[in-house]
Amino acid sequence: MIILSLPLSCKKDYERPDHYSLDLFRNERNEQQKRILTAEEANEKSLLVIKSDKTELVSTPKINNKLVYIYKIKDGKITKKTSDSLSFPIRIISDYDLKISKGKTDSTTIYLMAPRSYKLLITEFDVSFQALPAAPTL
């Protein structure tokens, strides 16, 4: 009887301690989704709105581990304009990818404002405008 109870009484179940747990997705859970502006809100906040199908990606420099996109708009239709003169082609800078592919034939509406950041890139690439943050890409 003692021989049979000895292996059963010495058995220990493994319990995982809580201090070893690691949340791999902590940053993703804490980040809130950025609100995307409606077309009307973006139109009010922008200085210039261009509808173009002749937009190409010029460069994607990396600053502080963040990609910055520089586009060249060869031609387009201006739907909102506050400045007097604008001649194409123009270069714009954006914090986010405008998702413009080379094979795309549809026109894209781009909401632009005066450049506020990346002073060195603006002078180096001769950038005229900056894409409005949180603007919809239509």
Banded model confidence at residue 21, pLDDT cuts 50, 70, 90: low
The answer to whether the predicted template modeling score (pTM) of the entire model surpasses 0.75 is no
User: What's the rounded Cα separation, in Å, for the pair 54 and 138?
Assistant: 14
For residue 111, which amino acid is it? Y
pLDDT band, very low/low/confident/very high, at 72 (cuts 50, 70, 90): very high
pLDDT single digits (tens) 100-133: 766 566 788 889 988 888 888 888 888 889 888 8
The larger pLDDT score, comparing residue 85 to residue 50, is at 50
pLDDT at position 31 over 60: no
How high is the pLDDT of residue 135? 81
* Dist. CA 135–CA 110, nearest whole Å: 8
pLDDT over 60 at 88, yes or no: yes
8 A C-beta contact, residue 93 and residue 76: no
Q: What is the pLDDT of residue 55?
A: 87
| pLDDT at position 32 | 56
Q: Is the pLDDT of residue 45 over 60?
A: yes
Spatial distance between the Cα atoms of 73 and 100, rounded to a whole number of angstroms: 11
pLDDT of the residue at 6: 53
Kindly provide the b/e burial profile for residues 119-128, where b requires at least 16 CB atoms within 10 angstroms of the residue's own CB: eebbeebebb
Q: Are 75 and 101 in contact (CB under 8 A)?
A: no
For residues 33 and 38, the model is more confident at 38
Spell out where 24-116 has E strands.
48-59, 62-63, 66-67, 69-81, 90-94, 108-113
